[in-house]
Amino acid sequence: MRTFPAILLCLLLLSVNRTTAQETFAPLITENCVAFVHADFSKVEFDAVKKNLQKIGEDALRELGFDDKSFKATAHELSAELDKLDVIFRPLFETTTKEFGIREVAVIADMSLLLEHQVPFIVALPWKNKTDAHLNKLRALWNMENYANTDFGIVGDFLILPMDFPQFTENLASWAKTIQPAPNAPIFDALKNVAGNETKFAVAFPPQLRTMVQAAPLPSEVPVEVRNLLMFAAQKIDWASAAVSLHEWFGGEPPKNADVLLTIKTAKRSDAVMLRGMLETLIEFGINAAQFGINQSGELDFEIPPLAFQFAKGFLRTLLPEVQEDKLVFRTKGDTQVVVAGAGVAIALLLPAVQAAREAARRMQCSNNLKQVALALHNYHDVYNEFPPLYTVDKDGKPLHSWRVLILPFIEQQGLYQNIRRDEPWDSEHNKQFHNVRISTFSCPSNSGNADGGSGRYCFYSGIAGEGFVPGKGTSLMKITDGTSNTIAIVEVKEGFCWMDPTADITLDELAKGINADGRVGSYHTGGVNVAFFDGSVRFISNFVDKTILRALGTIAGGEAVAL
């Protein structure tokens, strides 16, 4: 959408209605009109709106707890940005409203516009008795924003603003020739329902649209509760209307039905009652399905309290519409703060459960990664009769490549392995290009959000230097006399490092400092770390495990008696 229409659409949200849309824009409303938005901005005072925007911004800064220095600096920047917008919006607004006398705007969606001319909607201004001079001045305002070759459409006594739809002007001209105003179009009833309100929104279901919706096939996987609601709505809803109340912006008194958010008109009262019942059934179905799906998932090791789901049902029921004759009316119950507070309680109850679910999934993925690494170690052992060394060395004994490089062929990274020059150091000019390659098998999803994405610090799995992993030579299963099920092979660390680094693995002393304590061993999982043992198993070890047990688990031939 171009900037000029966007500005006028913004005015829809800053407007107070004083005239009836059906009087002004009736010549553009056909029986195929699907949606209509109308606003009258004759009472909008540009300075008042600007002042209110500044106040809203400053109130938000105070709510966020900004100190005086930060508050003043940010408020000043906000004021400067509003001044910049003032330069663009004010000339356009004042020329349109005061000089041209245009105080209304409408957005219209019509089935024939969309289906026959590929124009989803139009933005229209009253243009009766306007001259070429008016149009040229409007063009000048447009070009002030560095837009050239703009075109406007004239349809009867209306100016249609240019939109970025293919062949907009040509298609609009074709539509203009076929317009047949319909004084009894369903959209008028919707507009009358909100005639006394501020900015108005209306939707109707003309026969053409109703036929299309009813004929559209629904996927078989759509639940029957949803399918029934959609089909019933297509058959029984005549129109819907809504109003946005912005009286507080201008200090005016709210209209009598300012708490009405949305009205849905059905054919008769029994249809309205049935539709409300179907909405209530949908709430029950949706929450029950969510509860079953979450708590029955084999991937989660916790259960969301039933209270959370029960509260969600109760809260959503408070939002159900009232039945008034043949209509469903959604209201704010006179106090939007109640709605906001209820939503806040619902979030407070459910957010910890959602976060726990996400972390449970990440912890499981981390465990699977470690299993893949442990399996790769055993496959390496099957080929070479020993586990890989901590790192390979050159003829002078200097580190070349980490054990993680050596197991690449066993974690489906054969191509990467072949491209690495293993007779050169890991940080040689050629091998540096692979430092930022992210290998998901080496990256814990809970920790990776804290990795430095610019330096390849994606690896969070470390061996224990000098125990199961010895520089320059491998360790065989026969040498792990403490038992493979009692000896740690790989452990998580808190800070990521480059998976190619041969000197990044922890020592036994670092392991013995504890989990999520003073040393490097730790994770962003709640309560502990995942650990892979030399028998290929993966277990979760608590933060509170005794440090002497950790040291014993880290040795391959210490002779300690260990019980986890």
DSSP for 305-329, please give it.
-HHHHHHHHHHHHHTPPEEETTEEE
Instruction: Report d(CA 201, CA 237) in Å as an integer.
Output: 16
Geometric angle at alpha carbon 427, from 421 and 430, rounded to 5°: 45
| Dihedral of alpha carbons 28, 6, 94, 196, sign | positive
The answer as to whether 468 is a domain residue is yes
Helices 68-94 and 3-12: crossing angle, nearest 10°?
Answer: 110
What is the span of the domain harbouring residue 492? Answer: 364-554
Could you tell me if residue 428 is inside a domain? yes
Could you give phi then psi for residue 31, rounded to 5 degrees?
A: -70, -15
Measured CA to CA, the distance from residue 131 to residue 466 in angstroms comes to 89
Give, for all 564 residues of the chain, the pLDDT tens digit: 444 444 444 444 443 334 455 578 889 998 888 889 888 777 677 787 788 778 877 887 777 777 788 888 888 888 888 888 888 778 888 888 888 888 888 899 988 888 888 888 888 889 988 888 888 887 777 654 444 445 678 888 898 887 767 777 788 888 888 888 888 888 888 888 887 666 788 888 887 777 777 777 666 666 777 778 878 887 888 888 887 655 444 444 444 444 557 889 998 999 889 988 888 888 888 787 777 766 655 544 556 677 777 777 877 787 788 888 999 888 765 444 444 444 455 555 555 555 566 677 778 888 889 999 999 999 999 999 999 999 999 988 899 999 999 999 999 899 999 999 999 999 999 999 898 888 889 988 887 555 554 456 789 999 999 888 989 888 899 999 988 988 999 999 988 899 999 999 999 999 999 998 888 999 888 788 999 999 989 999 988 888 899 999 989 988 876 666
Q: Which of 420, 397, 417, 407 is nearest to 471 (CA)?
A: 397
Question: For the segment 354-407, what is each residue's pLDDT rounded down to a tens digit?
Answer: 556 667 777 888 888 999 999 999 999 999 999 999 999 998 889 999 999 999
Structure confidence at residue 197 (pLDDT): 65
Say which residues have a Cβ less than 8 Å from residue 217's Cβ, sequence separation at least 6.
none
Q: Is residue 458 part of a domain?
A: yes
The predicted structure's pLDDT at residue 198: 63
User: Does some domain include residue 219?
Assistant: no
On the 0-12 / 13-18 / 19+ scale of CB atoms within 10 A, 165 is middle
Q: Which pair of structure tokens corresponds to residue 233?
A: 């709505």
Classify residue 498: in a domain, yes or no: yes
Alpha-carbon distance of 183 to 209, in angstroms, equals: 19
Quote the pLDDT of residue 351: 53
Contact assessment for residue 489 and residue 377, using Cβ atoms and an 8 Å cutoff? yes
First CA to last CA across the chain, in angstroms? 64
Q: Is residue 193 part of a domain?
A: no
Residue 421 forms part of a structural domain: yes
Number of domains in the chain: 1
Residue 257 pLDDT: 47
Residue 246 lies in a domain: no
Q: Which amino acid is at 121?
A: F
What's the mean per-residue pLDDT of the chain? 79
